[in-house]
Structure 1
Amino acid sequence: MIFQYACPINDITVDKCYKMFDQLPVDRKNKVGRYRKEQDRKRCIVGVVLLRYCLMKDFDIDEHIELSYGEYGKPSLAGHPKIHFSISHSGEWVIVSVGNTVHGIDVEHSHDQTSDMFDCIFTEHERNIAVKLEDKAADDYFVRLWTVKEAYAKLLGLGLNKNFTEIDVADKEDKIVIYDRSVLVEDCIVSQQKIEEDYWYTICAEDSKDNIGELETVSFEDIYEYYIALQ
C-alpha cells in the first residue's frame, strides 16, 4: 500500500512546529535555518514530521530518521531501501506519500501567470489544447499537467532535472497516460485529484501490486498528539 497524508499549515504557528524540531534529520534542521520566510520553515518541518507520522503509524518504524540522496537529489530513508516516499507542498498544503513502490507526488495551486511558462513545459500537442481554453480552464490545465510531469520526474529520481517538454500527458480510455520522448510509459499508474479549490494533486507510481491508498487529511495537532502518546 502507498499511504498518503495531507496536512494544512495555514493555522500552524512556527512555534508549534518547533515542538517537533528535534525529530528532523540534521540536514533538514539546517535547511529550516536557511529559510527566511515563516511559511517555508513550516513547510519544511511539517513535511518531515508528516513522514515520521506515516512511518510510525503504517510501518511501525519509530526511530530517528536520516535521509540519503540520489544523484539528482531524490531523498530516501537511510537504512530502509525497500521503503519509498515523496514529499510535496504548495500554498497551505503539505503532502507526504510512503510505500513499498517507487513513486512520486506533486501538489500545486492554480494561478494566473501560466502562459509565460507554456513553452517550458508543454509539448506541441499540449500547447494546441491550451491555446483553445479560456483563462481559468487554461490555468487548471497548466497545473494539472505540471503536477503529472513533476510527479513522474520524481518517480524517475530526476525532479526538475527532467526536461518537461519530453513528457506528453494525454487522456486514454478515461485514464491519464504519459509519453516520454514519444514512447508510451506502460509501467506507470497516474492518479490525480482536486483536493481543494484551485489545488491539484497527482501521484505517479510504478505499476505493481502495491495499491494506492486514499489521500487522508490530518492536522498537525493530531500528529503531535499521536507522537506524544507513543513516548
Structure 2
Amino acid sequence: MVEVYLCKLPHPLQQKELNFLLQGVSQGKKEKVTKLYHLSDKYRTTLGELLVRFLYEEKHPSQPMCTFTQNAYGKPYIKENPASYFNISHSGDWVACAFHDCEVGIDIEEVKEKNEEVAKIAFTSEEYKRIMKEDKEYFYELWACKESYVKAVGKGFAISPDTISIKRNDEGVTFFCEKEEHEIQDFFCQIYDLDGYKLAVCAERARKEEFLPPVVVSFAEILSFLT
C-alpha cells in the first residue's frame, strides 16, 4: 500500500518551540535549518524529518530509526533500513510524506499564480500550450506530478522535467519519456486535492487501489512523540 500523511504547521510559530523540535532531528538537519532565514521554512524542514521519525517508530516499534542519510542526488533514506521507502515534501502550511514498499516520491504545492517562466522550461511544448489555456490549478497539478516522479526515481531534477510528459485518465497519472519515446511502465501517480493545494504521490509498481487516502497527523502528536 502507498500511505500518505500530512501534518499542519502550528500558529503562531515560535522560536522557542522550534528549538525544542530540533532536539529530535539529526545533526545534519539541524545544520540545514540554521542556514534558513524564515521561521516558517525552519519549521517545515524540521517537521518533515520529525513526521517520518514519528511514523517509522509507529511502524517499527522494536527498531527505532537512528540515521537519516541520502543518495548521490539527495534523496533521503534510512541507513538502518534502506528498504523502508519514504519521501517528504512541504509547502505553505503543510508537511507531507509517503511510505511504500518500493520507490516513492511526493510533492505538495500551494496553488498561487501560474509561473510562465517555469512553464517554459519544465513542460513539453504541448503541455505549455495547454497550461496557458487552463487555470492555475492545472499548472500546479502537472508540476506536482512531475516533481513526485523525479523524486520517486531518486534523481531529482537531474532528470529534466521537460523530457517527461503527463498522461492523465480516470485511473490516475502515467508518464511518457519524450526523449526515448516510450511509456514509462513502472511508476504510477495519484493526485489529491486539498483546499488551496495540489498533492501528488508517485509510486513504483503500484495500482490505483493501493493509494490510501491521506491521514492527518496532528502537531500535538509530534510534540507528544518528543516528550
The TM-score with structure 1 as length reference comes to 0.89
> Identity of counterpart residues, as a percentage?
23
Give the direction of change, closer, same or farther, for the CA distance of 1:107–1:131 in structure 2 (3 Å limit). Answer: same
In structure 1, give the amino acid aligned to 2:217. Answer: V
Deviates more, 1:17-26 or 1:82-91: 17-26
Name the structure 2 match of 1:2.
2
Instruction: Structure 2: give runs of 5+ residues left out of the alignment.
Output: none
Given that residues 68 and 76 in structure 2 are in contact (C-alpha distance below 8 angstroms), is that contact kept between their aligned partners in structure 1?
A: yes
Whole-angstrom distance in 2 between the partners of 1:39 and 1:121: 27
2:138 maps to a residue whose letter is Y
| Distance change (3 Å), C-alpha of 1:17 and 1:219 | farther
Aligned to 2:95: 94
Residue range with higher mean Cα deviation, 144-153 or 176-185: 176-185
Is 1:216 the counterpart of 2:221? The answer is no
Deviation per CA, 1:157-214, whole angstroms, max 9, x where unpaired? 1112220100100223543221122321122121101122x20000000014893332
Distance 1:212 1:46, change over 3 A: same
3-state SS, counterpart of residue 189 of structure 1:
strand
User: Measured at CA, do residues 33 and 62 of structure 1 come closer, stay the same or move farther in structure 2, by a change above 3 Å?
Assistant: farther
| Cα distance in 1 for residues equivalent to 2:24 and 2:45 | 12
Q: For structure 1, which segment, 100-109 or 202-211, has the greater mean C-alpha deviation from structure 2 after superposition? A: 202-211
SS at match of 1:170: strand
Aligned to 1:144: 141
Which amino acid letter does the alignment assign opposite residue 161 of structure 2? Answer: F
Q: Following the alignment from structure 1 to structure 2, what is the Cα–Cα distance between the partners of residues 226 and 215?
A: 20
| 1:13–1:219 CA distance, 2 compared to 1 (3 A) | farther
Q: Hey, what does 2:164 align to over in structure 1? A: 167
What residue identity is the alignment partner of 1:188?
A: F
Cα pair distance change 1:213/1:21, threshold 3 Å: same
Equivalent residue number for residue 205 of structure 2: 207
Q: Give the stretch that moved more between structures: 140-149 or 207-216.
A: 207-216
Measured after TM superposition, the shift of residue 119 of structure 1 is 1.0
Say whether the 8 Å CA contact 1:103–1:203 is kept in structure 2.
Answer: yes
CA shift for structure 1 position 10? 4.5
CA RMSD for the aligned pairs?
2.0
Structure 1: which amino acid aligns with 2:137? D
Deviations 1:31-56 (A, max 9, x none): 11111210111011101110111101
Residue number in structure 2 paired with 1:20 = 21
- The runs of at least 4 aligned residues of structure 1 exceeding 4 Å deviation read none
In structure 2, the residue corresponding to 1:73 is in which secondary structure?
Answer: coil
Residue of structure 1 equivalent to 2:81: 80
Q: For residues 152 and 77 of structure 2, what CA distance do their matches in structure 1 show?
A: 12
Distance 1:213 1:61, change over 3 A: farther
More off after superposition, 152-161 vs 54-63:
54-63
- The 8 Å contact of residues 155 and 204 in structure 1, kept in 2 or not, is answered as yes
Contact 2:106 / 2:151 at 8 angstroms: preserved in 1?
yes
Of the structure 1 ranges 161-170 and 57-66, higher mean CA displacement relative to structure 2 is found in 57-66
Q: Cα–Cα, structure 1 residues 70 and 226, in superposed 2: closer, same or farther, change >3 Å?
A: closer
2:181 corresponds to 1:180: no
Query: 2-side partners of 1:46 and 1:174: how far apart?
Result: 32
Report the alpha carbon displacement of residue 156 of structure 1 after superposing the two structures with TM: 0.9
Partner of 1:225: 224
TM-score, structure 2 as length reference: 0.90
